[in-house]
Amino acid sequence: MKSFCFALFFFSFVNLFSQKKISYGIENSLEYNFRLPQTNDGSLNSFAVFHEDLLFTCKIKNHLIFIGPQYSRFTGFMFDPADNYLKNSIGINFGYQYEHRLSEKFYRTYFFTRLFFSIYNYNFYEHSLLNGNALVQKTILENNLSFGLKKYMSKKFYSQICLGFGSTQGFFLMLESFMISSSIGLGIQF
């Protein structure tokens, strides 16, 4: 909540002292990420994550900054297939997007590049012969780079689709945990 208040204060401050036009908006996006099966240490490491985001956006010319809550649902397993994991999680999503308008032939259509981060918890019960089942909570920092198209259906409403790649390591795009991401979304710009 503190981060959201800080972001709102920051956007208001920029709006007061900027001569550029700033517009705000809301976007709802659905994202599907999946990791290709890996066998680094002999164990199969395969999972998919479905995210639904409600993003609050701030747009200055071709630059868009967004932040919002995120609901995540897991399929497959991330660490050990014997562990009983919880399928739902709540987190936060934030990032940056640069938009480039295509030629006049493609009216109200933009090509964009999006860099975004998701922070969420992955909870599972780890089985141990000594302690039985113990709840383990791991924080995942997911980062993605996506390329897509945004189409304005009117001056305020738009839809978008994008495809990209990312990882779940703490550093940007570590190839040890490489994954593919796809996303669709609808939004309104005020």
Whether residue 92 has pLDDT greater than 90: yes
45: pLDDT confidence band, cut at 50, 70 and 90?
low
Question: How many angstroms separate the CA atoms of 190 and 184, rounded?
Answer: 20
Whether residue 17 has pLDDT greater than 50: no
Q: If you average pLDDT over residues 69-98, what whole number do you get?
A: 82
The neighbouring-strand residues paired with 149 are 111, 161
Q: Which of the two residues, 188 and 102, has the higher pLDDT score?
A: 188
Question: How many angstroms separate the CA atoms of 101 and 95, rounded?
Answer: 20
Taking the model in full, what pTM does it have?
0.78
Q: How high does pLDDT run on average in the chain?
A: 80
| Nearest residue to 189 (alpha-carbon basis) of 113, 116, 99 | 99
Q: Are 85 and 124 in contact (CB under 8 A)?
A: yes
Say whether 91 sits in a helix, a strand or coil. Answer: strand
The token pair that represents 181 in the structure block = 């991401």
Q: What is the pLDDT of residues 46-59, one digit of tens each?
A: 678 899 999 999 99
CB atoms within 10 A of CB 92: 15
43 residue type, one letter: S
The domains located in the chain, with CATH, are 2-189 (2.40.160.20)
Whether residue 138 has pLDDT greater than 90: no
